[in-house]
Amino acid sequence: MKLKEKGFGILLTFCIMAVFWILLSGIFDAFHVISGLVCCAIVSIISHDLLVKGKSEKKIVKSLRLLTYIPWELWQIVLANIDVAYRVLHPKMPIDPLIIEFETTLRGEFSLVTLANSITLTPGTITILVDPERGKFLVHAIAKGPADALLVDQTMQRKVAHVFMETAVETEDTST
């Protein structure tokens, strides 16, 4: 079982790197393709555990759910930019920065990274610190509205938890 997982990791790493090689080189004669494939094989045998890690259960479902999450995230990025443009160009500059702190029940490495990057890209908030052990986030918000969206609505936490199949999120406001 363990050997099978390892083989899967090596194969996946090899495929991704081979595609990359072909895309970036753009030369399709035998010498270049074969030497590229040999290099990919060596690298994927040595360092496959950097890319594909640990338990591989439900990985396909997770990737599919991630694919449905990305369009929503892109739309949030557009909204974030319109929000920032409004605040920058408004003559009175309607900003009221504050730092908020909340905890999530997310524990997975990848899900925490996704949530942190999503927070940075969505309207009015940037992640400052993440404590992976307790799932604690320290977030700088540019005004009260974006902070409430994160603390009260928790749409994003729920979406990320859904994508990575972790337990639903309960957060609490511990300071302002």
Partner 1 sequence: MVIVHGVVVVLLGAGVFFTLVGSIGLLRFPDFYTRLHATGKCDTLGGGLIILGAIIYHLFQYPETLLVPAKLAFLIFFIFIANPTATHAIMKAAYKTGVKPWRLGEERR
Q: Does the footprint of partner 1 cover residue 149 (CB under 8 A)?
A: no
Among 18, 37, 138, 149, binds partner 1 (CB under 8 A): 138
Query: Which contacts (CB < 8 Å, 24+ apart) does range 74-80 have?
Result: 76/118, 76/121, 76/122, 76/123, 77/121, 77/122, 79/122, 79/123, 80/121, 80/122, 80/123, 80/124
Nearer to partner 1, 83 or 166 (CB): 83
- How does DSSP assign 130-144, residue by residue? EETTTTEEEEEESSH
| Residue 72: CB minimum distance to partner 1, A | 14
Q: Which of 117, 155, 167, 174 binds partner 1 (CB under 8 A)?
A: 117
84-113: which residues touch partner 1 (CB under 8 A)?
Answer: 84-85, 87-89, 93, 95-99
Among all chains, which residue has been given the structure tokens 């094989």? 41
**For partner 1, the closer CB: 141 or 169:** 141
Q: Which residues of 41-72 are buried (b: 16+ CB within 10 A; e: fewer)?
A: eeebeeebeeebeeeeeeeeebeebeeebeee
16 sits near partner 1 (criterion: CB under 8 A) = no
Min. distance of Cβ 170 from partner 1 in angstroms?
A: 24
Using CB under 8 A as the binding rule, whether residue 154 contacts partner 1 is answered as no
- Answer for which of 18, 41, 126, 149 binds partner 1 (CB under 8 A) is 126
Count of residues near partner 1 by CB under 8 A? 30
Residue 26 region by backbone torsions, left for phi larger than 0, else alpha for psi between -120 and 50, else beta = left
- Residues found near partner 1 in the complex (CB under 8 A): 23-24, 26, 77-78, 80-81, 84-85, 87-89, 93, 95-99, 116-117, 120-121, 124, 126-129, 138, 140, 142
